[in-house]
Chain A
């Protein structure tokens, strides 16, 4: 029998970049699932939510009225919030990998699941910083929701480990970062420049840093930074830059699933897997498996899917996935990778490290 999963993704608009990567990871997951599952087949129906909440809500309603069994959410807490609310009203399971706000899980929705959260990112960055033991950190953060959340969290937690923190917020419209970096250079004189932002901002910030050469020891960022793509697009900006990552590059995945994912992905899209597609792959896989289990138990129609989701407990490329009462995945942790001559080496936490960190290490 065939099940339909509905997905709303920001294929156009400000989040289009993330939407595309998400869609790719998800498609690969479904493809792999269908290959190995003889009984149940899954089909995804994707609707562009145009990076806006109202259209995401409409998309969810349309997907459900088209017979979707469950919904895979797009990107951004602002959009996932209302969309998952709508999905809950319709009694459909909703899973996302692109919304980290704590408010989402505080709503007490029974159908809402996510595999990553702000706490995980924060932990990842904290671990690295505790290992590096800098005296001071300058945080340059976009005023967008997720980056700001992370920055605020770090601003609170890092001083507890004796690290001095200065935060510089910037409006996403800004393109010239030299004045900010100059403040880091002349006023903060920090050991580490931490960026909580998105790709276009990273490029601008690192470029400004490369021009002004502040006396920092490392440049650290978060999502979508330690990716092979960033290195191939901007080779002379990325050397030694650190960012969150799950997999080293070239991919050395130990487990079968990871290898298969990398292969199919490369085959389908002609490129290496990326941070966002990995997240999306895992969430889609988890959902597919839960659907299969519920189908076996015959409880898909009677609302058993949410229970099956809650029973999920498996290892994945992202580590262990097990949802708590609120639908969150408290085990979500990640590693920090460093660009080293076109490779991405996992350097933190120590346990996962695939190589030694270059520290101090800068792109210039």
Chain B
């Protein structure tokens, strides 16, 4: 699995040398990588933190606005403002700490409520944020070492590195004891706490980390399309598509959400759109339904199982209904 990950990463880095000239293809890939980053962050929270969120748009939007405002209004260098965007999202996850007491759909919806609240706040604070008219002319990514990062290929490389780095962090956490404890908390929180795990703290860290990563990609996106408005930055899409991508690819794996995001996005935009121009999402819906029925653990575990991969089987060790 790990080797596969590294191989995919290296292959991904080579893509611009093949398709670099085709703006359309690179544009699609850039968008799908943004989605992949958010999906990864979502899955991190869902898998490690055991918290399914319906509102990652909150972090995406806050990250985007923070970075865009810092760069556009205060003239901060974009490469600095982007991590600060992530930090902004992480900060705003702090006000969500009360949600950690909630579980299941209660948590999911509470985060969704936050996303709505942030959207409305950003719309209302038009003095700073430009309100519903949004911000245009957001500074683009700079040129570094002679590479124009604002070009499609440049952005692509940055995003690939970023996704790779986040996946590596995720993998490191999952392998650690903290990762095991987090996995344990799923469905057995009291049992985990009585053996000395400070579950609230660990979950809080996962929420912060997930928010940070999501904010990072939100910020990247803002500087890539150079435009923001509340409805777009806090759009439900940023909450829903990562879930879809994560579950499609297999949200308990690290590679799953990434691969899922890229595949889903490309399928929807390239294949479905060329088949049906209006309502092409019908195909996306059918694909999703099919994958859930055929591969309830997502695409990657399915592939793993087909290859008799032991790792995937361990993942599959679901709970049998105890009669």
Contacts and interface: CB of A to CB of B under 8 A. Distances in A.
Interface of A: 11-12, 46-48, 52-55, 57-58, 61-62, 64-65, 77-78, 81-82, 85, 90, 101, 103, 107, 143-145, 148-149, 171
Contacts of A48: 273, 277-278, 280
Contacts of A101: 133
A148 B231 CA distance: 14
A53 B132 contact: no
Nearest to A14: B231
Contacts of B277: 11, 46-48
Secondary structure class of chain B's binding surface, majority of residues: helix
B132 A107 contact: no
A108 to B, nearest CB: 11
B31 A145 contact: no
Given A12-B281, A85-B226, A57 B27 contact: yes
A17 to B, nearest CB: 12
B132 A144 contact: yes
28 contacts: A47-B277, A48-B273, A48-B277, A52-B237, A54-B31, A54-B225, A55-B31, A55-B269, A58-B27, A58-B31, A61-B23, A62-B24, A64-B24, A65-B23, A77-B133, A78-B227, A78-B229, A81-B134, A81-B227, A82-B226, A82-B227, A85-B226, A85-B227, A107-B136, A143-B132, A145-B132, A148-B131, A149-B133
Interface in B215-274: 221, 225-227, 229, 231-232, 235, 237, 269, 273
A257 B277 CA distance: 30
B180 interface: no
B61 to A, nearest CB: 14
A145 B120 CA distance: 13
Nearest to B133: A145
A87 to B, nearest CB: 11
Given A53-B232, A81-B134, A148-B132, 15 more contacts: A12-B280, A47-B277, A53-B227, A58-B24, A58-B27, A58-B269, A61-B27, A62-B27, A64-B23, A65-B22, A65-B24, A85-B227, A90-B23, A101-B133, A143-B132
B279 interface: yes
Contacts of A11: 277-278
A12 B237 contact: no
A107 to B, nearest CB: 7
Contact of A171 (B24, B120, B136, B273): B120
B137 interface: yes
A331 B120 CA distance: 36
B28 interface: yes
A6 to B, nearest CB: 11
Given A12-B281, A85-B227, A171-B120, A78 B27 contact: no
Interface in B74-122: 120
A78 B123 CA distance: 14
B86 to A, nearest CB: 20
Interface in B28-78: 28, 31
A134 B167 CA distance: 64
Nearest to B280: A48
A145 B280 CA distance: 27
A90 B23 CA distance: 10
Nearest to B270: A62
A8 to B, nearest CB: 11
Contacts of B226: 82, 85
Nearest to B21: A65
A107 B227 CA distance: 13
A82 B269 CA distance: 18
Contacts of B22: 65
Contact of B24 (A61, A103, A143): A61
Interface string B274-315: 000111110000000000000000000000000000000000
A149 B130 CA distance: 11
B225 A53 contact: yes
A52 B227 contact: no
B137 A107 contact: yes
Contacts of A64: 23-24
Given A48-B277, A48-B278, A54-B31, A145 B24 contact: no
Nearest to B232: A53
B23 A52 contact: no
Contacts of A103: 133, 136
B235 to A, nearest CB: 7
Contacts of B27: 57-58, 61-62
Contacts of A57: 27, 225
A196 to B, nearest CB: 12
Nearest to A79: B232
Nearest to A66: B24
Q: Which 3 A-B pairs have the closest CB atoms?
A: A62-B24, A82-B227, A61-B24
B304 to A, nearest CB: 32
Contacts of B278: 11-12, 48
B10 to A, nearest CB: 26
